[in-house]
């Protein structure tokens, strides 16, 4: 049975929106918990009260954000089952254990200790509380590790194979899944981006305090910790960027070619298209400005390897689809009871391409009777829309380099003790607060939109993955989610702004600006 296009599109839209919304809160949690750990470590080592106040004040802002992160995270766990039932059946054997591990190792740790972080100040010794804060930070980062292993597997599905008895993918090597190169670079890239987000948040708000000459000692110390941690993190994001993951697997290669609007395979080393206007229909990029060699260096870490272009990759996809048709035909025979060795051998030869065969399900339920025109259509489907990827990728990169500049300036002026006399720098830092979010959201867009038409690259097409729902059900859930999320976002922003305006005076220690102290 072929699921309606509108249900597929609505399911995708809903997952995309809720995942991007969840990721408004995740990176700040990743970064803030580390910053809190650093601030509290300074407090425990020096005994200076102001560092405890910093931990508690920034902790308050972290708390508002954390509540939203928890709220929106549950949606995602529910949604795999509610909206992607066939996906859940098909890859639950790999995805499930990773999610369950996240529960055991990360969610329990962070959720159990977050209460002690907020309410345990007077009940724990200094060192005990510090330990709690650091474990909280590790908990949030473990969480990122497991879910990115799961996501990395969706981009580059290693350590697993199709079982024709159970009609699903099953895990064959945990080590391969864990050390999946795509997942590993994704993890480093993502948590470092989280540290950047936390740092930019603290840097920007501290700059606002400094601009208004409020709580200067408090703000100056926060500013310097954020600028140092931020610079180190933004360098990791850029240098250890996840570009290196784009050479693993066919679908990642197509994604890379789409990001670069690389229609043809050029002789190595390939040039990097700095800017231009990709045109999907004519398969070319107008007004392209190219930097020679750069793409080849980034993508292959060499000067003599080709970076394949979209047209060639599409041809390769079509030969995979043809092989997938054979696999599907043999699977059909086995299901009908023919388990002869000849069928089994033929299936095993082609089973790696079974997923490509499933791409044809969109056009013909039987798969094996696909026409040349349907093959060509399925081939086109393997190429994601180039322009959105091309542009969002560039927005991400520009945001990243802008932040590098901000953090470098901030740290330099911190080191020379001139930061609070540089209003331009402080204003720049305030206005840069949205940048890490822009970078993170566009980055995820590139990663996920660029994987289309797959949920599991090369294994399971998106249109096969959805639950068998009516569009009425989808509109109900979409309506509810959009309403709740809009109201909650307004409330969250209201509380954030309220506590930012109050500053450390919200701790009611009697030591800060609004309480009549400088």
Partner 1 sequence: MIDYETIRVIWWLFTGVVAIGFTVTEGFDFGIGALLPFLGKSDVERRVILNTIGPNWEGNQVWLILLGGALFAVWPPLYATLFSGLYVAMLLVLFSLFMRPTGFDFRSKVDDPTWRNAWDWALFAGGALPPILLGVLVGNLVQGLPYRLDQDLRTFYEGSFWALLNPFALLCGVVGLAGMAFHGAIYLGWRTEGVIHRRACAVLDLLGPVFLVGLTVAILWTIAAFGRPEITSMADTAAPSNPLNKTVTLNNSWLAHFAAHPWMWAAPVVGVAGMLTAWLTGRKGSSGLAFLSSSIGISGVLLTLGFALFPFLLISSIDPRSSYTIWDASASHFNLLLSFWITVVFLPIVLLYTRWAYKVMWGKVTERDILQDSHTLY
Question: Does the protein bind partner 1 through residue 406 (CB under 8 A)?
Answer: no
Question: Does the protein bind partner 1 through residue 119 (CB under 8 A)?
Answer: yes
**What minimum distance in Å lies between the beta carbon of 108 and partner 1?**
5
- Single out the residue of 108, 277, 401, 431 in contact with partner 1 (rule: CB under 8 A): 108
Question: Does the protein bind partner 1 through residue 40 (CB under 8 A)?
Answer: no
* Sign of the torsion angle spanned by Cα atoms 219, 224, 226, 227: positive
Whose Cβ is closer to partner 1: residue 104's or residue 277's? 104
Considering only residues 168 to 187 of the shown chain, the ones binding partner 1 according to CB under 8 A are 168, 170-172, 174
- Single out the residue of 104, 179, 431, 475 in contact with partner 1 (rule: CB under 8 A): 104
Query: Helix or strand or coil: residue 319?
Result: helix
Residue 60 has a CB neighbour count (10 Å cut-off) of 18
Residue 105 has a CB neighbour count (10 Å cut-off) of 16
Nearest 5°: the CA angle 359, 279, 371 is 30
Q: For residues 407 and 199, is the Cβ–Cβ distance under 8 A?
A: yes
State how far the Cα of 471 lies from the Cα of 339, in Å rounded to an integer: 40
Q: Which of 19, 72, 23, 249 is nearest to 154 (CA)?
A: 249
**What minimum distance in Å lies between the beta carbon of 67 and partner 1?**
4
Question: Does the protein bind partner 1 through residue 275 (CB under 8 A)?
Answer: no
Please list, in sequence order, all residues whose beta carbon lies within 8 angstroms of the beta carbon of residue 379, skipping any fewer than 6 positions away: 314, 315, 317, 318, 321
**What minimum distance in Å lies between the beta carbon of 178 and partner 1?**
11
Question: Does the protein bind partner 1 through residue 239 (CB under 8 A)?
Answer: no
CA-only gyration radius of the chain, Å: 25
Distance spanning both ends of the chain, measured CA to CA: 70
Give backbone dihedrals phi and psi of 506, rounded to 5 degrees, phi first: -65, -10
Question: Does the protein bind partner 1 through residue 2 (CB under 8 A)?
Answer: no
Question: Does the protein bind partner 1 through residue 92 (CB under 8 A)?
Answer: yes
**What minimum distance in Å lies between the beta carbon of 152 and partner 1?**
17
Beta bridge partners of 266: 307
Considering only residues 290 to 349 of the shown chain, the ones binding partner 1 according to CB under 8 A are 335
Considering only residues 125 to 164 of the shown chain, the ones binding partner 1 according to CB under 8 A are 163
Considering only residues 499 to 518 of the shown chain, the ones binding partner 1 according to CB under 8 A are 499, 506-508
Considering only residues 420 to 479 of the shown chain, the ones binding partner 1 according to CB under 8 A are 467-469, 473, 476-477
- Single out the residue of 40, 102, 242, 330 in contact with partner 1 (rule: CB under 8 A): 102
Whose Cβ is closer to partner 1: residue 72's or residue 207's? 72
Considering only residues 41 to 80 of the shown chain, the ones binding partner 1 according to CB under 8 A are 63-64, 66-68, 70-71, 74-75, 77-78, 80
Binding piece for partner 1, criterion CB under 8 A, among 90-98, 179-187, 256-264, 297-305: 90-98
State how far the Cα of 283 lies from the Cα of 294, in Å rounded to an integer: 22
């Amino acid at each position: 049975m072929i699921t309606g296009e509108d249900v597929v599109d609505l399911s995708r839209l809903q997952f995309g929106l809720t995942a991007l919304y969840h990721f408004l809160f995740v990176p700040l949690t990743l970064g803030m918990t580390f910053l809190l750990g650093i601030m509290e470590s300074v407090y425990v080592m020096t005994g200076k009260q102001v560092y405890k106040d910093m931990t508690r004040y920034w902790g308050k802002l972290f708390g508002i954000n954390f509540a939203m992160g928890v709220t929106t995270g549950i949606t995602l766990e529910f949604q795999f089952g509610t909206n992607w039932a066939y996906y859940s059946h098909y890859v639950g054997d790999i995805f499930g254990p990773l999610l369950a591990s996240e529960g055991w190792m990360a969610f329990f740790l962070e959720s159990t200790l977050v209460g002690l972080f907020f309410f345990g100040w007077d009940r724990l010794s200094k060192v005990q509380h510090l330990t709690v804060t650091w474990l909280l930070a590790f908990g949030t980062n473990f969480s990122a590790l497991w879910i990115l292993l799961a996501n990395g597997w969706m981009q580059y599905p290693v350590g697993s194979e199709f079982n024709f008895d159970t009609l699903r993918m099953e895990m064959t090597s945990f080590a391969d899944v864990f050390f999946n190169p795509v997942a590993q670079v994704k993890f480093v890239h993502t948590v470092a981006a989280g540290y950047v987000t936390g740092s930019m948040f603290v840097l920007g708000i501290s700059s606002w305090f400094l601009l208004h000459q409020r709580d200067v000692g408090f703000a100056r110390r926060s500013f310097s910790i954020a600028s140092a941690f931020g610079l180190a993190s933004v360098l990791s994001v850029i240098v250890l960027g996840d570009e290196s993951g784009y050479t693993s697997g066919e679908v990642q290669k197509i994604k890379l070619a789409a990001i670069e609007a690389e229609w043809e395979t050029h002789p190595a080393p390939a040039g990097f298209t700095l800017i231009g206007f990709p045109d999907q229909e004519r398969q070319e990029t107008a007004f392209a400005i190219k930097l020679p060699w750069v793409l080849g260096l980034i993508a292959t870490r060499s000067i003599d390897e080709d970076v394949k272009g979209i047209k060639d990759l599409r041809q390769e996809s079509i030969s995979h689809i043809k092989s997938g048709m054979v696999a599907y035909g043999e699977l059909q025979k086995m299901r009908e009871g023919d388990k002869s060795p000849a069928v089994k051998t033929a299936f095993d030869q082609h089973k790696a391409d079974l997923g490509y065969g499933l791409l044809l399900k969109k056009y013909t339920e039987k798969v094996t009777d696909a026409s040349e025109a349907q093959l060509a259509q399925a081939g086109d489907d393997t190429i994601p829309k180039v322009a959105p990827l091309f542009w969002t990728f560039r927005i991400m990169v520009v945001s990243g380099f802008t932040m590098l500049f901000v953090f470098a300036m901030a740290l330099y002026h911190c080191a020379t003790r001139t930061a609070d006399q540089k209003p331009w720098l402080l204003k720049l830092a305030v206005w840069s607060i949205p940048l890490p979010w822009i970078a993170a959201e566009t980055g995820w867009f590139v990663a996920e939109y660029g994987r289309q038409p797959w949920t599991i690259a090369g294994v399971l097409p998106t249109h096969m993955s959805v639950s068998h729902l009516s569009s009425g059900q989808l509109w109900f859930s979409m309506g509810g989610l959009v309403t709740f999320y809009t109201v909650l976002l307004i409330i969250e922003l209201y509380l954030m702004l309220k506590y930012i305006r109050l500053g450390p005076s919200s701790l009611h220690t009697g030591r800060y600006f609004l309480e009549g102290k400088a």
